[in-house]
Amino acid sequence: MLNWIERRTGFISQAKEFLEEDIPGGASYWYVFGSATLFAMMLQIVTGIFLTFFYSPSASTAWESTRDMYVHPFQHFVLSVHYWGASAMIALLFLHMLQAIVWGAYKSPREVQWIVGVLLLLVTMVLGLTGYLLPWDMDAYFASQVAINLTLQMPVIGAFIQQFAQDGTTMGTLTINRFFGLHVWLMPAALVGLVGAHLAIFRWNGPAGPPVEDPRPLKVGRFWPDQMFMDAVASLFVFLIIIALAAFAPPFLDAKADPSNSTFIPYPAWYFLDLFGLLQIIPGDYEIIGAIIIPGVATALILLLPWIDRSTTRMVGSRKPIMWLVAGSLAVMWWLTIWSQMSIVQKQAGAPPSAPEAQILAAQEQTNISESGAGGTAPSTNANAGGGSAAAAAQAGQTVYQQNCSSCHGASGSGTPGVFPPLAGNPFVTGNASDVIKLVLNGKAGPLTVNGHSYNGQMPPWKSLSNKDIADVVTYIRTTLGTNHASPVTEADVAKLKK
C-alpha cells in the first residue's frame, strides 16, 4: 500500500528526505526551543481557526460573541488555550532567540536565517497586539486606543498610520474589522511564509550545533527519530502547561468597551510592559524617544547583530561585550516589566474594581432571558395605579425624561425624523404597559415604523436607572407627554420585569 502511494506521489521518499538531517554533536534537549515555538504556533492556528466559528467582528457583536464563548464550556476552553498559547509562543520565541544569541548561531552563514527569525518575532508581536483588541472589553478598547495613538509619534507618516490602523478618525466597528483581518489573515499568512523560509534556510545551512572551537570531532546525530522525539517531549510539556493554565486560570472578560468610563485603568499584555514602562519614565517632551526611537533602535540593533558581533568564533568567552550588552538589555527589560506591573497593580488598587466576571456574564444572560420571554407574563398595571401618586410619578418622570430621553426623543416627545421615533401620539407608548417597560429596560435597535414613518436608530438599555425612575418616566410618557392619556405604571411592575 505504501509502495503504491510512493510510486505515484513520492511522498514517502520526500518525507524521509525532509526528516533526514544530521545533528552536530547528537540530538539534545538544548535544541527543542525552535520546535516548541513552532508547536505553539500550530496550536494558535488550530485554536484560532475554530474561534472564528464563534466570533463576530463588529462593535455591536464583538464583545457579545466573545461573551457567548465564555458561557459555552468547550468554546471557552478553546479560547483560553488560544490566550495562553499566545503567551507561550512569545515566551518560547524569546528563549529560542536568547539561545541563538548566546551560542552565536546568527553568525555566518546564518545571517539571513537570523533576520527572518527577528521578522517572525515582530509579526508575532503584531499578532499579540491585534488579537488584544478583538474581545472589545474595557481593557481591549483602552489598551488598543493607546497603542494606536502611539503611532502618531512617528514622524511624517504617523498620522496616516494611525488613521490606517483604526480605519478612520475614531475607534469603532471598522477598527475591529481591520484588526480582525490583520490578526486572522494577513499576519498568520506572513507568519507561515516566514516560518517556511526560516526552515528552508535552516535545511540549507544545517543546524549550527554547539559553540565549540572545532566542530569536526563532534559525533553526528539523527534528526529523525532522535531529535524529533525530544522535540515531541518538549511540545508535550509546553502543551500540558498551556492546558493547565487554560483550565485553571482562564482569561478575564471585562465589561463591554465603554469609551466614556473614566475610572478604568488599562494595562498591556505582559510582553509590552517594558515598552509601557518606558512611556511612563520618559518625560512628556521627549516621548518620541520612548515611543519610537528606543524600540526602533533596539529592533535595528537586533537585526544587525550578525554584523555588530565581529568575533570570529561563536565561543561565549570571546564575545564578552555582546554578552554584556545582551545581559544589560535583559536586566533593563525585566526591571521595566516588573516596575510597570507593580505600578499598574498599585493604580488599580486605588480605582473602582471591575465587576466579578460571573456578574458581567450573568447580567447579559438576564437581558436575553427577558427578551426571549417577551409577551409571556403581562403585569396588571391598571390595578396598581393609584390616582394621586400617578400625578406625582409623572412629574418626577418628567425630570428623568429631560435628563435621559429628550436628547433623542425631543423635549415634547416629537422624536428625530428617520432615526428616533416620536413618543407623543405613538400607539406603542400608550399600548401594553409592560412592553413599554421592557423596551426601556432592554433598549431597541433596528428599523421600526410609527404612524407610517420609518425610523432606524438605536436605544441603549436603561437598566442603570432605578426601578422608580423607570416607573416614573414610563408613567410620564404614557399619561402626560403630548396628548398621551394611558395608564400609569408602578415600581413593582418594573421590578417584576427586571428579573
Partner 1 sequence: MSTHAHAQPGESGHAAGRAEPQTAEEITRRRFMANATITIGGVIGLVLAIPIVGSLIPDVGAGGATWTPLDAAGWKELQSATDKAVKIDFNLRTKDAYLPMQSVPESVWGIKVKDVAKFKAARTDLFTPAGKDELPYEIVTMGFVLFSPICPHLGCRYNYDSDSNKFLCPCHGSQFDELGAHIAGPAARGLDPLPLREQSGGAQVEWIRYKATIPDRIVVSYSS
Name the pairing type of β-strands 444-450 and 220-222. unpaired
Do 292 and 154 meet the contact criterion of CB atoms below 8 Å apart?
yes
Q: Applying CB under 8 A, which of residues 282, 289, 292, 304 lies at the interface with partner 1? A: 282
Q: Shortest distance, CB of residue 27 to partner 1, whole angstroms?
A: 27
Residues numbered 216-255 forming contacts with partner 1, rule: CB under 8 A: none
- Looking at the Cβ atoms of 28 and 163, the one nearer to partner 1 is 163
Given the complex with partner 1, which of 280 and 382 has the nearer CB atom?
280
Print the binding letters for residues 469-498 with partner 1: x by CB under 8 A, - otherwise.
Answer: ------------------------------
263 binding partner 1? (CB under 8 A): yes
CB closer to partner 1, 148 vs 489: 148
- Of 109, 373, 431, 460, the residue at the interface with partner 1 (CB under 8 A) is 460
For residues 380 to 419, the per-residue mask of contacts with partner 1, x marking binding by CB under 8 A and - elsewhere, is -------------------x--xxx-xxx--x----x--x
Distance between CA atoms of residues 29 and 235, nearest Å:
11
CB atoms < 10 A from the CB of 101, how many?
20
Contact 482, 413 (CB under 8 A): yes
Compute how many residues bind partner 1; rule: CB under 8 A. 60
Q: What is the DSSP string of 233-283?
A: HHHHHHHHHHHHHHHHSPPPP-SBP-TT-SS------GGGHHHHHHHHHS-
Distance of alpha carbon 265 from alpha carbon 349, whole angstroms: 10
- Our CB check for partner 1 shows the closer of 18 and 229 to be 18
Which residue has 425612575 as its cell numbers? 469
Q: Return the HEC string of 388-403.
A: HHHHHHHHHHHHHHHH
Please provide the distance, in angstroms rounded to a whole number, between the alpha carbons at the two ends of the chain.
Answer: 65
Instruction: Answer yes or no whether residue 377 interacts with partner 1 by CB under 8 A.
Output: no
Is 363 or 419 the residue whose CB approaches partner 1 more closely? 419
Interface mask toward partner 1 for 326-365; x: CB under 8 A: ---------------------x---x--------------
Provide long-range contacts, Cβ within 8 A and 24+ apart, for 453-458.
453/417, 453/421, 454/418, 455/415, 455/418, 455/419, 455/420, 455/421, 456/418, 456/419, 457/408, 457/416, 457/419, 457/420, 457/421
Chain centre to alpha carbon of residue 114: 29
Closer residue to partner 1, CB minimum distance, 101 or 150? 150
3-class SS of residue 219: coil
DSSP 137: B
H-helix or E-strand spanning residue 14: helix 11-19
For the CB of residue 119, give the shortest distance to partner 1 in the complex, in Å.
Answer: 21
From the number of C-beta atoms within 10 Å of its C-beta (0-12, 13-18, 19+), residue 339 rates as: middle
458 is an interface residue for partner 1 by CB under 8 A: yes
Answer whether the bond into residue 225 is a cis peptide, omega within 30°.
Answer: yes
Window 285 to 314, contacts with partner 1 (CB under 8 A): 285, 287
Q: Which is nearer to partner 1, 212 or 459 (CB)?
A: 459
Task: For partner 1, give the closer residue by CB, 259 or 427.
Answer: 259
Residues 154 to 183 in contact with partner 1, rule: CB under 8 A: 159, 163-164, 166-170, 172-174
- CB atoms under 10 Å from CB of 459, counted, come to 16
Query: Which of 36, 89, 123, 150: binder of partner 1 (CB under 8 A)?
Result: 150
Bridge partners (DSSP) of residue 420 are: 416
Binding span for partner 1 by CB under 8 A among 35-43, 49-57, 98-106, 258-266? 258-266
User: What is the Cα–Cα distance from 149 to 151, expressed in whole angstroms?
Assistant: 5
Q: By CB under 8 A, is residue 58 in contact with partner 1? A: yes
Stretch that binds partner 1, among 101-109, 140-148, 222-230, 480-488 (CB under 8 A): 140-148
Task: Specify the stretch interacting with partner 1 by CB under 8 A; choose among 5-13, 296-304, 431-439, 471-479.
Answer: 5-13
Task: Tell me which stretch binds partner 1 (CB under 8 A): 311-319, 379-387, 427-435, 450-458.
Answer: 450-458
At its nearest, how many Å lie between partner 1 and the CB of residue 162?
8
How many Cβ atoms from other residues are within 10 Å of residue 319's Cβ?
Answer: 21
Contact region with partner 1 (CB under 8 A), list: 114-122, 151-159, 190-198, 321-329: 151-159
Q: Which three cell numbers stand for residue 421?
A: 421615533
Distance CA 139, CA 220 (A): 51
Among 118, 190, 279, 326, binds partner 1 (CB under 8 A): 279
Nearer to partner 1, 70 or 476 (CB): 476
Read off the DSSP letter of residue 430. T
Residues lying near partner 1 in the complex (CB under 8 A): 7-8, 10, 58-60, 142, 145-146, 149-150, 152-153, 159, 163-164, 166-170, 172-174, 258-266, 279-280, 282-285, 287, 347, 351, 399, 402-404, 406-408, 411, 416, 419-420, 445-446, 456-460
